[in-house]
Amino acid sequence: MTSLRQDQLAQLVVPDRTPALVVVDVQRDFGDPERLGAYGLDDDALTELDRTVTRIGELVDAARRIGVPVVWVELGSDPAHPWKASNWLREGDYDAPMGDSEPCVIGTPGAEWYRMEPAAGELRVVKRGYSGFLGTRLDEQLRAAGYGWLTIVGLTSECCVDATAQDAMQLDWPVVVPRDATAAYDLAVNEAALAQLELNVAVLSDAHEVIGLWERAIR
């Protein structure tokens, strides 16, 4: 471990700097292989996705056991208020109504959490776009709760995890991203996303190390 990384991680386990785990978009439309046919995942990507969802679930269990707060950030696409720029980018028509391919439409099975779910009393934030901070009260709620740094996990690494981590860092949150608790639908895309996160946004880690940091911080 480099001296810089030692210093970075040491700053996370000082008194009064409570960690929180932020779980992003582990919903059926993003994690359930039965709903991902249009994304064209190969066998390696499907295996990695399954492994990642399992690891995220393990981190949720560990956080609850240790006493680290779990925060749930989920996409809620609202047909009454379509994200027109996204529609234009994906379909080429800015003014079209929300189409059948829109993920995580509010009230549909695709918006449900996949292989995990929030517990009673855990903070849930519904977002409209990529970042959990854009157009929500997430920053205000995290600060009101007295948290000091964030572990961000979820789907997918190059999109909503990246956007949420980017905004967290720019809002002055120290961010740790476990590389084994996020994934993309292409292994090369995931590696590129992790490299970008490490370069500008977060300290990369793994689930085992993060649990150790939590245990040192919550004592």
Tens of pLDDT, residue by residue over 117-165, are 999 999 999 999 999 999 999 999 999 999 999 999 999 999 999 999 9
Q: Is the pLDDT of residue 2 over 90?
A: no
CATH domain 3-75+114-217 topology? Rossmann fold (3.40.50)
pLDDT for the residue 22: 99
* pLDDT bucket at 1, cuts 50 / 70 / 90: low
Q: What are φ and ψ of residue 54, in 5° steps?
A: -60, -45
pLDDT over 90 (residue 48): yes
For position 101, what pLDDT does the model report? 84
What pLDDT is recorded for position 106? 96
Report, as an integer, the average pLDDT of 23-43. 97
Mind listing the pLDDT tens digit for each residue in 129-140? 999 999 999 999
- 73-92 tens-digit pLDDT: 999 999 999 999 998 998 89
Q: What is the mean pLDDT of the chain?
A: 96
User: Could you tell me the residue ranges of all domains in the chain?
Assistant: 3-75+114-217
At 91 the pLDDT is 86
At 141 the pLDDT is 98
Q: What is the mean pLDDT of residues 103-110?
A: 96
pLDDT of residue 99: 81
Specify whether the CB–CB gap between 142 and 71 falls below 8 A. yes
Q: Is the pTM of this model over 0.95?
A: yes
